Amino acid sequence: MSTRIVSISPAFEDLMPNEYKELVENGPYGKDYKVTDLGKYKELIEEHPLCAGCGLALSLRLVLGSLPSPEDTVIVGSTGCSALVFPQVGLHNVHSLFGNQNAVASGIKRALSLRFPDQVKDVVVVAGDGATADIGLDMVMQSWFRREKIATIMLDNEAYANTGGQESGMSMEGTVMNMAPKGKVFPKADLPKVAEASGCAYVAAASPSRPGKLGKVVRRAILIAREVGPTYVQLLSPCPTNFKTKPSDTVVTIKTREKEKSFKQYEYISDDARSFLSALDEGKQSEGKKSEGKQP
């Protein structure tokens, strides 16, 4: 992007509210921040209206801190809790409808490739489990079938949280929730495997309990999507409100799930993606047309 869109007309510099001045002076645009740099700069999220202890808010903050080129990233969201955050995010982002995020993203990606053929334009989908695995699954999978160069990130809180705690395809079997009053009768959908079979070049499951790892997989997913093909990242992001856990226990919840083996980190890298990554490691190939020298 032309960084001019985050520079203030000189005549108005004194008048701009502080948060904008901070964004201009100390924002992440054109910098090379990684997830470990959080806290050192003005983040892309201003404030958010999500519940205390929200796993999704935690994931989202880490995702936004892991974008390799925030100045050239357009995010497509979907209906759900996360959509409440996006008005506060310092990027171009689209809320369209419930479930059509990957179809919208396909259109955006194709249009930006036409308009800016020599520039990096990352299109990243960030949506919940209902939007990704249930109502939008056909469009998610079809974007993978078509090998759309977009990264799809699921914020998996294992429920429809915004609508009041209904069971989703990603809920654990047996979970008693609204619309599953006798407990969910089928297992949690194995979407990473579906992604792999559908043509994703890179698939990962992670969680905000390990921010470094989350940052690494998100960054990889976006870089691989830029150069190789579609990618999918699933982030376990528990909902303390609907599962009635303590807001301070969100990370504990994830760690318990890991111990119980009902959640595990996972990473699949296709051969093409692997050679792309090793080329990056060896510094043989730049990450993209204009982000020379960044490491995955």
Partner 1 sequence: MLQQQVRSPEYLFFEAEKKKQFLSGSEAVREAIRKANVDVAISYPITPQSESMHLVGDLFAEGYVKEYFRGENEFAVMSSVAGAAMAGVRVFTATGGPGTMRAFEMFPVWAGSRLPIVCAFLTRGINSPLTIQPDTIEMAFLLETGMLMLHAETAQDLHDMLLKAFIVAEKTDVHLPVGVFADGFFVTHTKEILHIADADSKLPPYDPHCAPVPAMDMESVPVRQMRDPFVMKSNFISYAAHASWQQEIEAAQERSRKHLERYLGGLVETEHEDAEVLLITSGTAVSQSREAMAICRKEGLSVGLVKIKSIRPFPSDELRRLAAGKYAVIVPELNRVGWLAKEIKARVDDPRRVIGAPRVFGGMTMPAHLIVDEIRRVLQ
Partner 2 sequence: MEPHRYKVVSGPEGFLPPAAASMGVALPEQGEGLIEGARVPAASALEEAATRLVNAKHPTFFPGPLILWNWKDGIAEKAQALKDLADTLGAKIIPMPDYRPKYPMINPEIEVNPNHPNLTIWHNKIDVCVFIGVHCHYANMALKIIRGGTDCCTIALCAEAGHEDAVISLRDFALADLHALTAAVNRLKARG
Residues that bind partner 1 (CB under 8 A): 1-2, 5-6, 23, 29, 46, 49, 71-74, 76, 83-84, 86-97, 100, 103-116, 121, 138-139, 142, 146
In DSSP terms, 292 is beta-bridged to none
What's the min distance (Å) between Cβ of 232 and partner 2? Answer: 28
CA distance 210 to 220: 16
Residue 12, interface with partner 2 (CB under 8 A)? yes
Looking at residues 89 to 148 of the shown chain, list those that interact with partner 2 (rule: CB under 8 A): none
What's the min distance (Å) between Cβ of 105 and partner 1? Answer: 6
Considering only CA atoms, give the Rg of the chain.
Answer: 19
Contact window for partner 2 (CB under 8 A) among 42-50, 131-139, 165-173, 232-240:
42-50
What's the min distance (Å) between Cβ of 279 and partner 1? Answer: 26
Residue 8, interface with partner 2 (CB under 8 A)? yes
Q: Which does 16 bind (CB under 5 to 8 A by kind): partner 2, partner 1, none?
A: partner 2
What's the min distance (Å) between Cβ of 7 and partner 2? Answer: 5
CB 201 within 8 A of CB 273: yes
* Cβ-based nearer residue to partner 2, 79 or 132: 79
Q: Which of 39, 47, 259, 282 binds partner 2 (CB under 8 A)?
A: 47
Phi first, then psi: give them for residue 47, nearest 5 degrees: -150, 165
What's the min distance (Å) between Cβ of 183 and partner 1? Answer: 31
CB 63 within 8 A of CB 222: no
Q: Which of 25, 36, 40, 49 binds partner 2 (CB under 8 A)?
A: 49
Question: Residue 61 corresponds to which tokens in the numbers above?
Answer: 């903050």
CB 270 within 8 A of CB 198: no
State the pairing for strand pair 73-77/122-128. parallel
Q: Which residue has the tokens 């799930």?
A: 257
CB proximity list for 229: less than 8 A, separation 6 or greater? 147, 149, 199, 200, 201, 270, 272, 273
Residue 16, interface with partner 2 (CB under 8 A)? yes
* Cβ-based nearer residue to partner 1, 42 or 257: 42
Residue 172, interface with partner 2 (CB under 8 A)? no
Q: Which does 51 bind (CB under 5 to 8 A by kind): partner 2, partner 1, none?
A: none
- Taken in order 99, 102, 107, 109, is the CA torsion positive or negative? positive
Q: What number of other Cβ atoms are within 10 A of residue 269's Cβ? A: 19
* Cβ-based nearer residue to partner 1, 75 or 254: 75
Inter-axis angle of helices 250-259 and 55-64, nearest 10: 90
Question: Residue 123 corresponds to which tokens in the numbers above?
Answer: 């299109």
List residues binding partner 2 (CB under 8 A). 2, 4-12, 15-17, 20, 46-49, 87-88
